[in-house]
Each structure stands twice: as C-alpha cells, then as structure tokens.
Structure 1
Amino acid sequence: MAQPTVLVTDDEQSIRNSLRDILEFEGYTVLEAESGKQVFELVGEKSIDLMLLDIKMKGMDGMEILSKIKEENYHFPVIMISGHGNIEIAVEATKKGAFDFIEKPPDLNRLLVSVRNALDQYQLSKENKTIKSRLPQVPEIIGESDAIHQIKKTIDKVARTNSRVMVTGENGTGKELVARWIHEKSKRNSGPFVEVNCAAIPADLLESELFGHEKGAFTGASSQRIGKFEQADGGTLFLDEVGDMSPDAQAKVLRALQENVITRVGGSEKIPVDVRVIAATNKELLDEINEGNFREDLYHRLNVIPIHVPPLRKRRKDIPLLAQNWLNQLAEKDIMFSGISFADKALKALKKEDWSGNVRELQNAIERLGLLADGNEITEEDVQNLTLSGHKKTDGIDNLVEEIKQFKDFKESAERLFLFRKLEEHDWNISQTAKSIGIQRSHMYNKMKKYDIER
C-alpha cells in the first residue's frame, strides 16, 4: 500500500523543512506549498491524504484556504497550525471543518498522534464509501412466506439470463421492486434501469416516450428526443402497467422486440438497441386478449418468465416483518419516529387487516401510526383506531348502517369511505383511481373537494 501523502502549507521555508523532516522520518510522502495558489494547483493534480495548514500566511490565509477546500468538496482532513493560537481561533477552525488545531512550535508526539488519527479516520471514511458504493441501492424484498421465498429463488435463477419477465400482481404489491432486483442481480447491473409507466402517459405521447422523436415530428417537437428504449441500451427497460398500452404502441414494441431496432417518431433511421424488457401489470392479460385490448403475440413475447406477487392478505405472515422494517426506516430518516415500537398485539392486529392497497397502504398506515399513536409503543387499540384509511373502525360500512339514521347522510359517508379506500389502493394516483372506478378525473377532484379528502 502506498504511503499517505501529506501536504505541508506554510509561508516560512524553515517551518516547512522541519515538518518535512519529521513526517518523512515517519514514512509519509510530503508535498509543500507556500501559498493558497500553490495549494490549489497541487490538490488539483495530486492525491492528498492530509494537509498541515498554517493560519497566518501572506495573501490567502489558512482560514480562507480551509473554507475554499471545503467549498470545492475536497474531503481530506486538515490540521491547522498557528503561532498565535487561542480558543476563539481553534473553535472557528473546527467549525469550518478542521480536524485538529495545534500551536507552534508543535509538540512532536502531539503532532504525530493527530496526524495518525486524522489519516486513520480518512482511510475508514474512504473504505465506508467504497463498501456503500458496492452495496445495491435497492431495498430488500422483505418476507418469510413461501411466496416470497419462491419469488427470490426465481429472481436468482432468471436474473443472470436475458429472458424477458412478466411480473403480475395487484397495485402496491411491489412489482417494481421485483424488476429492480432482477436488474441488480443481472450482468446488466452496471447499465441503466429505465422505467415507463404506460398507464400514466397519454396514448398519443407514449410512442414518443418509448421510441423518441425527431425535431418537427409533430406540433411541439421543437428538438430531437431520445426515447426510453435508447436510454435503456445496455440495461433494463421496465414497462409498468403494460396492459394499458395503446394498440399502436403495442405493435411498435412488438417490432422492437423482434428486431432489436427502433425508429424514432418522425424518423426513418433504424437504431439498434440492446435492451432487456421486464413488464408488469395488475390486469389479467388473457382476459384483455379475449376482449381485443391486448395483442396475443406481444403477450407471448413478454411472458417468457412469469412472476406473480401475491397480495398481502395472502401472505399475512410477512406483515409484521414489513411493518417493523418500515418503522425502522422511518426512524433512520426522521427523529420523530425514533424510540417507537410495536406491542405484540399491535402486530397481530395488523395481520388481521385486509390491506386492499397492499404494501403501499401498509406503509402509509405505519407512518400514520408512528406519528399519531400515544406514547412510544403502538398498541392494538392504535391499530384498530387508525388503520382504516385514516378513520376509526367505527367508520366501517356495518357501523355506518347502525349509527347513521338518514339515507342521505349514509350515502355520503359511504361514498367518502369508498373513495378514500380506492385512493389508498392506487397510492393516491387520482387519474388511476378515477379510471378504476369508472368516473372522470374532474369528477374525482370535485368529490375530493366535496368530502374534504386529502392524503
């Protein structure tokens, strides 16, 4: 391993010579600078592990150099040295990011201990960054149910291949997470993972989104656009909600999968692409094929390896694990959630819920419980009071029948509860919710306003 490089910065030659002799005797590589200008020439060219920096210098002083080093995101530690040291200067230097502050003339043992500590901390910091860069940035698939074990087993088998995968399941079950893990464990993991939500993009814009367009291809196409297929070249393209793709887009996707080339909208050039496609849908595509809404040939192209992600109500064993994991993640991000835990009965109560919105709804509920529960322990009563779409259990339909006397009041209360449930089921995507329940989006907004429904 190469010896650490120490940059000694002082405008006095004698001080630089003394520090060089001490450090080289200890085996360090030493560079010298007598001004701020020389410092930034050297740090731009050399790999620096530590700087010894005098505070009082001609021109740019040590404090200014320290500030600029931190502003320009150099991460090596800086030990400040001064013949005019006092508490105020030491505090100021520390606030600006100095590792340590040593008075001149430096005590030899004090100096060398500080140098070793600074270098050890810097090396540890670099190792941590290296380890983190190697770790996948994709959340774990949480669960111990047979279904989750089978999904993980299938991912391990198919990820190494280039086979296309079709992930099915209800909204909020974690289909995208499955797709990301297939990419993460594949040979393409150094390439891009590009996602397209086919349900969220208007049909007349989906082709441009997928394949790009040339300048002037249509009104508003003021410049060339690179589509998702090209962006995913060398990586993975995730077609989410593929069952909502328009017939024209289906035909072009089929051609792209057959020929491994695409043509931008308004263009004629055939552009080769190397893309692995993973598709996902919450629809029964065989029913869609029978109704003439989805191409059978495209279905067979996409459905080489099927993976079904079951709803939470069919893997209740995983609910406590998911709940605890999400609460831990919230605590890492926000101190408001630290110290909060679940009572055993609360976890059992969570298992009894239907979770029509699946993992997304569960996550919303855990966040709500963590914020609104009394005390540091989430109880069974908290779960019973706060999990039903932000309402108490007494807002259930059966209890509405018992409690509400007037038909008009019952109708409005039931409608409000229905809309709330459906919004959570679709992760508060208003367009998808409106489409799923068969009303226009504008009507959905009006209903939400009428019943004061907010996320």
Structure 2
Amino acid sequence: MSKANILVVDDQDSIRHFVSKALEDEGYQVQTIASVREARQALEKDMPDLALLDLKLPDGTGLELLREIKRVQPEVAVILMTAFGELETAVEAMSAGAFWFVKKPFQNEELIALVQRGLESQKLWIELRRLRHQAFADEDFLHSSSPSMQEAYAIAEQVARGDTTSVLIEGESGTGKEYFANLIHRMSSRHDKPFVEINCAAIPRELLESELFGHEKGAFTDARMQKLGLMELANGGTLFLDEIGEMSPMLQVKLLRVLERRTFKRVGGTKDITVNLRVISATNQDLERMVKEGGFREDLYYRLKVVPLWVPPLRDRRDDILPLARLFMERFSKQFKKPFRDIAPTAARVLLEYPWPGNIRELRNLFERTVLLENGELLEPHHLKLSSRARAAAEPTPGQRIDEYLTTPVPEVGIPFETLVENLERALILKVSYATNWNQSRTAELLQLKRDKLRYRMKLFQLEPESPNAHDRTQAA
C-alpha cells in the first residue's frame, strides 16, 4: 500500500469526499482543504508528494497555489481540476509546471491512474536531480559561472527528460561535447542502460556501416561470423555519434531511416531489427553550411537537431580559466603525488592571455604534463612553457608565415632546400588545421591528402592543439 501524501484543495464538499475516499482506498494519505488560505497554512507545515487543486476557489485560484508550490518545492506533482476546461487556462497551467489538467466530472479509475502517473513523475524528477548532482560531481570541470555554459546546462537538464529526443551538440574541438552527451544520458531515465559512443571521423567510411549496424556472416569477404552493431548494443540506452559531419551520404540515409522508423537491417541481412534508443550527435563543423553546399542531408540535419546545444569555447568564458586550472592542478598533483598548491599571479596572467585553441582539452593536457614533469609548490610561468605559444597564437595567425618564408631574404650561408620545404609544409598544415579547428578529416580533404598521410606528417612535425611545437618550430623557421 502506498504511503504518499496527497493534498486536495476544493471548495465543494462532495468533490473533497469523493476524491479523498477514492485515494484512501488505494492506500494514500489524504488531506482535504476548502480554500487558498487554508492550503497556504498547510503547505507551510508540510509539502505533499502530490496536490490536486481546484482551479477556481472562493479566495483565489489553483494557479496561484501551483506557482507557490513550484517555487518552494518544484518536484511536487500538481494536478489541476476544473468544471470549465478552458484551453487557454490548461496551457497556462502546464506552462506553470502542472503535471496535468483534468475536467470535472471524472471517474474513479481516471483519477487513480492520473495520480499514479503524477507520483511516478515526481520520483523520476527526484532521481534526475540526484543523477545531475552525481554527474557534476564526477565531471566537476564542467562547472562554470558563464551565462552561455549555464544555458547549455539548463538545456541538457531539460532534454534529459525527453526519452527519445535527438540532440545535436555543436562546438569547437576540445570544448567538452562528449561530456555533455554523457551528462544527458546520466540524467535521463535511460541512465542504467548502455551509453555507446563512436567517433565517425576515427573509422574509415567503408567500415563505419558495419560498426554501426553490424553484419551477417558472409556479408562480405572478411565477415566470418555475425557481428552486432553499435545500434543493437545501445538498445534501450543512448547512442552518441561524434563528428557526425564525417558520415557518408549512404550512411546518412540509413541513419535517417533509424530515426524515422526505429528499425534497421544488418549489413547483408534481410530482417528488420527494432531498437529503442536516443541518438545524440556532435560536430565541430558548420552542418548548416554543409547542408547548403550539399555535403549533408537536410532532412537528417533537422532530425538530429530537434534540440540544438552549443558548447562555447574557453576563450569566450575567461572567468572559468583559473578555476579550471586550479581544479586540474589539484587533481594531477594528487594523482602524481606532487606538491603544487597554488598558481602564481604571473602564471595566472599567462593563462588568461593565452587563446586556448584546443579549449578545455588543451588546458587539461597542459596541466597533466606540467604537474607530471615539473616540481615546486607554486606554479610559475616557466613551468607552463606557454609564453612562446601565446605569442605564436596571437595575430598574425601561424599560416600567415607562409608568405614570410617566401619573402624573407636568403642568408649568405644559404638554406637547405629540404629544410625550407619542411618548414613550408609544417606551416601549411598548421594553417589549415587552425581553419578546421583541428579536424583531421576536413584538413586532409582541403589539402587533398589521405588521412593516414596527414597523421604521419603531423606526428613528424609534432603538431597538435596542445603542442608547443605547433608554434615554436614554425616560429623558428
């Protein structure tokens, strides 16, 4: 038998008697009240788990009580009752946070079912709040005081309540898009089901279909046995598609079909497989521009972007830089058993002046490397080795040095041709990498290089968003 506390506010004796008897027979603890004034007095003493409020009362309205309840304890489920059933009032009530709006007269069965659903909603709300706190405790570097990040958090929390709503997370490389995807999953009703992620840019296009949809035995030359795809592995939970802009047109069609019909076929299969999952996608590319240029399907774009979520770059929320830096310093000092305790004002100024093209990932990697390799209690500028990077990252951009190399007079001792070509190649890759926010697939496409060759050249030149060599060695040329 349920022990939930229910408050019933209605000025009609017959309604109060009918509702209280129906609910008490189901095991609920019921308190009945006839006016707004009495209801306020009761609410000051104790908040119910659910409230049934008449819309029109002698000394006020149920809408007034609804707003007061939601302001004090938003998880309380509120059902409004009315004999009039005006559509505008119902919309207003739902906007104010009402769980439901029911028209009198109603049947016992209808009331009981509605109350049960309302209490289930209340339990889910409480669980989501607990999960949110847990998620932020685990990924505390997502905390931010900036309005843009607060807006992103609010959107993540709201969309988590939608069981199947698709989300498109946009933002530069390193801003934390994957953490927002995981946060939405952990705050949702699917939190105890799988969270499966795949980077569409990290897998060759010809293999991505099999990874996502699986394949049957004999579907192609190396298919020696049946393989389950990530779609099936994510069933019941969340599938996170990172770098969605890298998906081929053929796979875009298949993904659209999954979103529309919730079914797919394995590669080489004939049987429709039904899945129940939420799809969250992320990109650092301009998908809207890609749609206009024919590089991405418009219908899929809008299917994925039911709810858009923008993660701002670190340079646009400078108030977060030092708190995040201290957080990473403390975390890695503890992990590596190092004595760092604080950041010197001069080092703090260097951190604030640097543009952080690699965003939070770059900041985190910098502190992991710095704390591991350096020693001391006070973190100084020379520990960070950021000064040359900050100079190189300032205008003019690194790519503009290509022209400098070609216009700089040749010294009397000469320049080895191979050295000059290497410096030009490094600068060109760096320029295009900055233009694409370090998206290797897009960089390779613009340079008309195979991605493997680009990776090899970047490794050779030690080029990555966090690498001092991305600036220092180019500067030295």
1:257 corresponds to: 259
Displacement after TM superposition at 1:373 (Å): 4.4
Aligned-partner Cα distance in 1 for 2:207–2:369 = 37
> Compared with structure 1, are the counterparts of its residues 248 and 386 closer, same or farther at alpha carbon in structure 2 (3 Å cutoff)?
same
Identity fraction in percent: 40
Q: Which has the larger radius of gyration?
A: 1
Aligned-partner Cα distance in 2 for 1:332–1:441 = 38
2:250 corresponds to: 248
> What aligned pairs does 1:285-300 form with structure 2 within 5 A after superposition?
285-300=287-302
Aligned-partner Cα distance in 1 for 2:180–2:327 = 18
> What aligned pairs does 1:222-241 form with structure 2 within 5 A after superposition?
222-241=224-243
Mean Cα deviation higher: 363-372 or 245-254 = 363-372
Displacement after TM superposition at 1:414 (Å): 6.4
1:207 corresponds to: 209
Q: When the two structures are aligned, how many residues end up with a matched partner?
A: 321
2:357 matches 1:356: yes
Aligned-partner Cα distance in 2 for 1:425–1:368 = 26
Mean Cα deviation higher: 187-196 or 346-355 = 346-355
Query: Normalising to structure 2: TM-score of the pair?
Result: 0.59
2:121 corresponds to: none
Contact 1:356 1:425 in 2 (8 A): no
Aligned-partner Cα distance in 1 for 2:363–2:431 = 12
2:380 corresponds to: 379
> Compared with structure 1, are the counterparts of its residues 416 and 309 closer, same or farther at alpha carbon in structure 2 (3 Å cutoff)?
same
Displacement after TM superposition at 1:175 (Å): 0.5
Amino acid at match of 2:186: E
Displacement after TM superposition at 1:186 (Å): 0.3
2:22 corresponds to: none
2:342 corresponds to: 341
Amino acid at match of 1:299: Y
1:139 corresponds to: 139
Q: What SS does structure 1 have at the residue aligned with 2:257?
A: helix
1:194 corresponds to: 196
Of residues 306, 312, 315, the one that matches 2:314 is 312
1:182 corresponds to: 184
Aligned-partner Cα distance in 1 for 2:375–2:336 = 18
1:439 corresponds to: 449
> Compared with structure 1, are the counterparts of its residues 310 and 184 closer, same or farther at alpha carbon in structure 2 (3 Å cutoff)?
same
Amino acid at match of 2:361: R
Aligned-partner Cα distance in 1 for 2:387–2:301 = 41
Mean Cα deviation higher: 377-386 or 261-270 = 377-386
2:149 matches 1:159: no
Amino acid at match of 1:256: V
> Compared with structure 1, are the counterparts of its residues 180 and 390 closer, same or farther at alpha carbon in structure 2 (3 Å cutoff)?
farther
Contact 1:211 1:229 in 2 (8 A): yes
Amino acid at match of 1:160: R
Q: What residue ranges of structure 2 are gaps of 5+ in the alignment? A: 1-129, 468-477
Q: Deviation per CA, 1:167-216: give whole Å up to 9, x if none.
A: 00111111000100000100000000000111112122111111111100
Displacement after TM superposition at 1:316 (Å): 1.4
Query: Normalising to structure 1: TM-score of the pair?
Result: 0.62
Aligned-partner Cα distance in 1 for 2:354–2:430 = 16
1:271 corresponds to: 273
1:117 corresponds to: none
Aligned-partner Cα distance in 2 for 1:145–1:343 = 24
Contact 2:344 2:378 in 1 (8 A): yes
Q: What SS does structure 2 have at the residue aligned with 1:388?
A: helix
Amino acid at match of 1:369: T
Q: What residue ranges of structure 1 are gaps of 5+ in the alignment? A: 1-130
> Compared with structure 1, are the counterparts of its residues 373 and 437 closer, same or farther at alpha carbon in structure 2 (3 Å cutoff)?
farther
Q: What SS does structure 2 have at the residue aligned with 1:180?
A: helix
Aligned-partner Cα distance in 2 for 1:250–1:392 = 36
Aligned-partner Cα distance in 1 for 2:293–2:433 = 27
